[in-house]
Structure 1
Amino acid sequence: MTAVLDTPSSDTVDSPGADAAPEPRPASWPVRAGAFAIDVLLGVGVIATLAVLAFAAPTYGWLWWVYAGVAIVVMIAMLVNRVLLPTRTGWTVGRAVAGIRVTTAGGGDVGLVRLTLRELAHLLDTAAVCIGWLWPLWDSRKRTFADLLARTEVHRVGVRDEDVRDVRRRAAIVLLAGVLVSAAAVALGYFGSYRQELAVEQARAQLVDQGPRIVEQLLSYGVDSMDQDFAKALNLTTDNYRPQLVVQQAAVRKAGPNTNEYWAVSSAVLPESSKTEGTMLLALQGQRGIDPKNLKFLTATVRVDFHKIDGQWRVDNLTVLTKPQMNGAGQ
């Protein structure tokens, strides 16, 4: 008697592993680089822009603190996106756009502690002349040094169409926010720092042009026009210096009618000048006397503080550094 065994038909036989999930595919290096650019390089670019602008701004001024505060906020946002967000949603913004995810070697979820250690381990990727970042190009599992140390991998994962639209929307918002922050920082730097710097340079240029002429008019007077010259000189001073000049003019009147003429032969504006205040060093030459045959020739060096009032530079103080020398003899 022959026993006949029923042979299962092909449609009832399950091949080994038919119901098993497909093995996750490691993400390629270009895809990982694109996600990294969105997650990290965008923020680094914003922070670098803020750092350059902060360097040009007055140290510890209000604008400097604004740049520093925004840079700190951007750094915190980067950390939240890279470490905290994946533990809640499974994605960072960049990885969601690229369709990749950080997992354990077996494809499981990665917790907060391991993600944090992985981010710190990226320092080794950079310290090794950035070789760690390039390691996925030849590693069979596409891992960086940080992945090897944290025992993580980056896998390609499927994303539903509705999720793709949501992810791209979020990525677009992040990119737009980064561009707007950088643009706002540049605009603020222009209006708050560059324009101030430009105003200071314009003020210095005005002092270079007007300062020597003002000092010449302040110290010069003629025997036939002394009253007019003294009145004009008083209009070139601030309330702070005017009383001193009045005393000096009174001493000149008491000495008798004379002619005194100065002209600047060399001048320099000191660096601490601002939009409304400035200091100059001037080397002066001049002559004193009424008789052309008996003129006394003068040399002197002075330091002059200027203050801008109602758009006009005025002398706020005058200090004689080298006393006037008359015909080579001190007077």
Structure 2
Amino acid sequence: MNYASWPQRVGASLIDAIPIWILIGIGMAVDGPGSDGGPGLIYFLFTLLALAFALYNRSYLGGQGASIGKKALGLKLVDEQTGQPLGFGKAFVRDICHFVDAIICYIGFLFPLWDAKRQTIADKIIKTLVVKG
């Protein structure tokens, strides 16, 4: 298989993050801290919208084979054993498993630099691959 390189994976993640940053930024610009110092209602709603987008993009679209970022860079997220898209549930659990990549000083996200299949720890746990195609 033709595995995605680490720079391609990072690029896809950055593209996926842009709409989230924009939504949260709009919320902050329109409704910064409330009178009590906490976030205002508009900011909270834009944050919920950003979370909904992330869920749709990474779990739903990712589960069908490619998030917006992966699609833009010609990458696919597939099951290691079948080579087929994961489906919503497995893609969602994969994102939760990225917590393991992060908790060890983010080293898990660097695994694709030296791993033969260019997998993160979350990919190894869920048995997924990011491939070109």
Same fold (TM over 0.5): yes
TM-score by length of structure 2 reads 0.86
- After TM superposition, list the pairs within 5 Å mapping 1:103-142 onto structure 2: 103-106=78-81, 107-142=83-118
Q: CA RMSD in A?
A: 2.5
Give the distance between the partners of 2:101 and 2:26, measured in 1 at CA. Answer: 24
2:69 to 90, 94, 102: 94
- Give 1:37 shift: 0.5
- Counterpart position of 2:52: 76
Higher strand share: 1
Instruction: Tell me, yes or no, if structure 1 residue 30 matches structure 2 residue 7.
Output: yes
What whole-Å deviation, never above 9, does each CA across 1:94-151 have from its counterpart, x for those lacking one?
0000100111114222122211110100111111100011110010110001001000
Letter in 2 for 1:98: L
* Contact 2:23 2:49 (C-alpha < 8 Å) held by counterparts: no
CA shift in 2, pair 1:129/1:53, >3 Å: farther
Q: Which is higher, the Rg of structure 1 or of structure 2?
A: 1
Give the distance between the partners of 1:82 and 1:29, measured in 2 at CA. Answer: 18
Aligned residues: 132
- Give 1:51 shift: 5.1
- After TM superposition, list the pairs within 5 Å mapping 1:157-176 onto structure 2: 157=133
Give the distance between the partners of 1:143 and 1:98, measured in 2 at CA. Answer: 17
- Counterpart position of 1:43: 20
- Give 1:47 shift: 2.5
Which portions of structure 1, spanning 4 or more consecutive aligned residues, are displaced by more than 4 angstroms? Answer: 51-55
3-state SS of paired residue (2:40)? helix
CA shift in 2, pair 1:104/1:31, >3 Å: same
- Structure number with greater CO (CA < 8 Å, separation at least 6) is 2
Unpaired runs of 5+ in structure 2?
none
Unpaired runs of 5+ in structure 1?
1-23, 158-331
Instruction: Tell me, yes or no, if structure 1 residue 85 matches structure 2 residue 29.
Output: no
Higher helix share: 2
- Counterpart position of 2:43: 67
TM-score by length of structure 1 reads 0.37
3-state SS of paired residue (1:26)? coil
1:144 to 102, 113, 120: 120
Residue identity over aligned pairs, in percent, reads 27
